[in-house]
Structure 1
Amino acid sequence: MKKLLALTLLLLSNAAIGGAPAPRDGQHDFDWEIGAWGTQLKRLREPLSGKTDWVEYAGTSVVKPVMGERANLVELDVRGGAGRIAGVSLRLYQPASGQWTLHFANLANGLMTEPMHGVFKDGRGSFYGQDTLDGRAILVRFLILPMDAGRWRFEQAYSKDGGQHWETNWIAIDTRRERASTNVSPTGK
């Protein structure tokens, strides 16, 4: 099953970026995000259950470059009627493939998710990975989409059928609060 999931992820990732990725310099793909952001987040309370109960949160995301700007660290802290979500995402650039890996750790349980792999193309980020939900293997898709120069949408979806159908379960809209001192455009160029 794991081999099938890995193959499916590779095919989804390649399809999302238009074929097998050629090595490229995507080291600055996330430069636009360095700084502080206000975050409005909603998440599906019980993903892949058929239920449609969403919970909302508000707070901040702070993004910092690390490791000579070949990685960055996101600190997420949001609160809402369902409690608090506090976590950290480590994003690592892989120069040989021109791809990024995204690793998320939830501070509530102290666990790090399996990495997601992907790239930015035409100003949009597409990342894929695998996880488990209620003991079953699932695929995860994470999209990063520009709304305008100061707002971005982060959308997570799960698939229980190998990527044929996706259910969005996490939508965050980040609005810039403070821009770090960097001279890059919102598309990272």
Structure 2
Amino acid sequence: MRKRYFLLVLALPACGTAQTPARPPEVAQAQVTALPTGDIHDFDWAPGSWTLANRRLKARNVGSHEWEEFLSYNRTTQYLGGMVNVDQMDMPSKGFSGLTLRVFNPEKRQWSIYWINSKVGRMDPPQVGGFTGNRGEFYGEDVDNGLPVKVRYIWTKTGPDTAHWEQAFSYDGGRTWETNWMNDLTRTGR
């Protein structure tokens, strides 16, 4: 029980909430066990260099349909026999970079995906989940412009050298989702 409580407290401050859990840890744990599970080999395809064709919504949570498009470049490396992988995404036209840390928990059979933006310099709360076949789903909570949001990442392996990723936010507790960033990845070298 202590381990679950610690993980819940660790995630709450990053979401902009109080230090004390708003609900008993048992409720939070029930939600965690409902998340998709996966395998340590879910991201075995990812190491290497990639070019990403990005589409990002210009304004979130206002019904916008205007997208900006830009290229970014990514290099992914695996560690600890595939249990951890790290990638750095450089976005020259945007003036910042990002780092993704993915960690596999073999007991829960789930990945935790953390994002660090070079403009902010802090690790965002994790998205947790795994792959079923070529589709991975990962869920978490964060804050967007002062509003609490549920966050969803969807990864789709579309071939040995191609993949698709998208991020969506829900401002209503997960009833509706607004996709706000997606990219198509193409391997640039093995």
Question: Does 2:179 match 1:168?
Answer: yes
Residues 154 and 173 of structure 1 are in contact (CA less than 8 Å); yes or no, is this contact kept in structure 2?
yes
What RMSD over aligned residues (CA atoms) do the two structures have, in Å?
2.4
2:59 to 35, 41, 46: 46
Long gaps (5+) in structure 2 = 1-16
Deviation at residue 123 of structure 1 after TM alignment? 1.8
Counterpart Cα distance in 1 of 2:181 and 2:172: 19
Instruction: From 96, 117, 137, give the equivalent of 1:106.
Output: 117
Q: Contact 1:13–1:127 at 8 Å: present in 2 too? A: no
Assess if the C-alpha contact under 8 Å between 1:8 and 1:162 holds in 2. no
2:127–2:138 contact (8 Å) kept in structure 1:
yes
User: Take 1:47 and 1:10, find their aligned partners in 2: how far apart are those partners?
Assistant: 30
CA distance in 2, matches of 1:10, 1:75: 33
1:96 matched to 2:113: no
| Whole-angstrom CA distance in 1 between matches of 2:147 and 2:133 | 34
Change beyond 3 A, Cα 1:77–1:87: same
In 2: Cα distance, 1:149 partner to 1:68 partner: 20
Query: What residue identity is the alignment partner of 1:160?
Result: Y
2:73 to 53, 60, 75: 60
C-alpha distance in structure 1 between counterparts of 2:134 and 2:41, whole Å: 12
Summarize the Cα distance change of 1:13–1:43 in structure 2 as closer, same or farther, 3 Å threshold: farther
- Displacement of 1:122 in angstroms is 1.5
- SS of residue paired to 1:112: coil
Distance of aligned partners of 1:116 and 1:161 in 2 relative to their CA distance in 1, 3 Å threshold:
same
Structure 2 vs 1, CA of residues 148 and 154 (structure 1 numbering), >3 Å: closer, same or farther?
Answer: same
Match of 2:83 in 1: 70
Indicate how the Cα distance of structure 1 residues 89 and 43 shifts in structure 2: closer, same or farther if over 3 A, else same. same
Of structures 1 and 2, the one scoring higher in RCO (CA 8 A, sep 6+) is 1
Equivalent residue for 1:177, pick from 169, 183, 188:
188
Distance in 1 between residues matched to 2:30 and 2:184, nearest whole Å: 28
Quick one: structure 1 residues 151 and 74, their matched pair in 2 at CA, closer, same or farther if it must change by over 3 Å? same
What is the distance in 2 between the residues matched to 1:178 and 1:10?
Answer: 42
Q: State TM-score, norm by structure 1.
A: 0.80
TM-aligned CA deviation for residue 112 of structure 1? 1.4
Trace 1:10-159 onto structure 2 (pairs within 5 A).
11=31, 14=34, 17=36, 21=37, 26-80=39-93, 83-159=94-170
Runs of 4+ in 1 over 6 A off after TM superposition: none
